[in-house]
Amino acid sequence: MNHALKSRRDFIARLGMISAISAFPTLSFSQINLPDEFINTDTVYGKIRGKRIDGVNTFKGVPYGGKISGDRRFKRPAPLQPWDGVKDTLTLGAPAIQNPRRGEPEPSEDCLFLNVWTPANDSANRAVMFYSHGGGYVGGSGGSGGQDGANLARNFDVVVVETNHRLGLMGFLYLDEIAGAEYEGSGNMGVADIALGLKWVNENIANFGGDPNNVMIFGESGGGGKTSALYAMPEAAPYFNKASIESGPGVRMLTTSQASKTTALVLEELNIDPKDWKKLLEVPASKLLEVQSKIPFVPPFQNKEKGNQSDSPILGFGPVVDDVILPTHPFDPIAAKISKDKPLLVGWNEDEYTFFAWERKDTAPFSMDFDQITERLSGQFGEDAKKLVESYRHARPEATAPDIFVAISSINMMGLGSIEIAEKKAQEGAAPVYLYNFGYKSNMKIPGTDYEMGTPHAMDISFKFNNEVPPKDGETPRMGFGGSKVDRFEASRNFAELWTNFAKTGTPSANAPSWPAYNLQTRPTMRIDATCEVIENRFSEELATWRAIGKV
């Protein structure tokens, strides 16, 4: 196994994405206080009852698909059956099979529920923002506190929708080659569930004040990878018209060769002969979760395959290029033609790596000198580590050794793939693509060090959902990754305004400089902060080195 791949597998295997990305401390929301009241509305399946809270109508645990357990395991959901009377949708639905989640129902195989936040159930035809949660492809839910959609709905007059969907082994076990036509597409059930959620939006969102013909899909980390897959999926294509891929650049997905090897490993762990694969339907979900935990997590990015794909390593569970549900890699060798007319946002956080240092309790890089960081990076980049460090030191003469280590590690994790997506979308010459860096600097320190988190992976979630807001009167401020500086509220406002205006119009705009579409001449990048700025040819010197060593 090559060092780069081992490092990436280690980085994902140690993420803590399952809980850390999607279970931030509960955040403070708007200072509006209005009396709660129940709200009834129609869906094509029957009436539901939600609640109006602080001026936002909230519907939680709305079913959008039928049974996916028992004889439906690894298959398309059973049709959702209509109901009589009024169904309460006041609490979150069950998340997908995973370890229990704080403040949420017990995880369940039958997890096809979604949540809706809307300013009003009227005929206003608001833009719809459809979010896919992070957590890799194995954890998370549409009910995480940091991504609560109420502030976006209230402050920016949009409708927000988030789904629960199958994850991990339940959502991405590739059985096509051993189970036959009945299980065709089995390796993509997790993203097919999301497409079914989009279909539900198309059929029902007008009753929630939303415009079914103006839908933006977006997602962070694993949610960015899912969004990348949706961008290339024929069954999702009719139901959205713009997208945002955030710190999850899914340039390539798993091959059938890789997915088949993971399936073989699962069967081996369970002592099931491939010809007896149907025994998988009898294995308790808890046992499948135990087996899943032994297999590395799949990052939202995949290395380009070289040589004989049958020799490719086992990479775990994630979307599969299967010629059924996902016919092509989203951005390899070119941007998916099926979405050529759909505008795209793509980008990453400047200090992605500090999240993983925080999660792993890895304090070592923050006391290293330049020789030491070069040695550590050589485990991943070999002899190219020295070239990278020298290039970054030349481009950033004031940077410390830890600064350089964080910068190299961060762009390698989420930046290079984001740039590749922007370049390939720009080369397509159709709908525009906009490249961003999130750069607001948190003053929260990595425990055990004096090094500040800066802009870590996943910090963008609470900012883009406008959930970094002043506390309510009498409420004790809570500090998450965003830190304690008051200018974080302005950065959150900027981020949310850019995203909601993109959802409404296909052009990101805010109280900020005009954001030009990405092109291969000036390469404009929006740096999002309390004060935003457009930077042309950002990181040009560093990227020249990445290109020289074949990483871009």
* Residue where the block lists tokens 């209005």: 34
Question: Residue 329 catalytic?
Answer: no
Question: Residue 221 catalytic?
Answer: yes
The CA distance from 236 to 239, in Å, is: 6
| Among 24, 23, 16, CA closest to 362 | 16
What tokens appear for 542 in the block?
Answer: 């560093």
Among the residues of 61-219, which ranges form H helices?
150-156, 168-172, 176-179, 189-204
| Among 137, 166, 181, CA closest to 66 | 166
The CA distance from 182 to 188, in Å, is: 14
The CA distance from 111 to 65, in Å, is: 9
C-beta of residue 103 within 8 angstroms of C-beta of residue 94:
no
The CA distance from 552 to 546, in Å, is: 6
The CA distance from 353 to 406, in Å, is: 6
Handedness of CA 248, 329, 316, 175 (dihedral sign): positive
Among 133, 165, 329, 457, the one annotated catalytic: 457
Q: Annotate 197-248 with three-state secondary structure.
A: HHHHHHHHHHHHCEEEEEEEEEEECHHHHHHHHHHCCCCCHHHCCEEEEECC
The CA distance from 6 to 56, in Å, is: 46
| Among 376, 364, 410, 444, CA closest to 539 | 410
C-beta of residue 444 within 8 angstroms of C-beta of residue 479:
yes
* Residue where the block lists tokens 């935003």: 532
C-beta of residue 130 within 8 angstroms of C-beta of residue 198:
yes
φ, ψ dihedrals at 78, nearest 5°? -65, 155
The angle, 0 to 180 degrees and rounded to 10, between the axes of the packed helices 3-13 and 370-381 is 100
**What H or E segment, with its residue span, contains residue 50?**
strand 46-53
Among 352, 423, 497, 542, the one annotated catalytic: 352
Distance of CA 548 to the CA centre of its chain: 29
- DSSP class of residue 454 equals E
Question: Residue 442 catalytic?
Answer: no
| Among 266, 292, 64, CA closest to 163 | 64
Among 19, 221, 442, 462, the one annotated catalytic: 221
φ, ψ dihedrals at 243, nearest 5°? -150, 160
Who's near 398: CB < 8 A, 6+ residues apart?
Answer: none
C-beta of residue 232 within 8 angstroms of C-beta of residue 252:
no
Active-site amino acid positions: 221, 352, 457
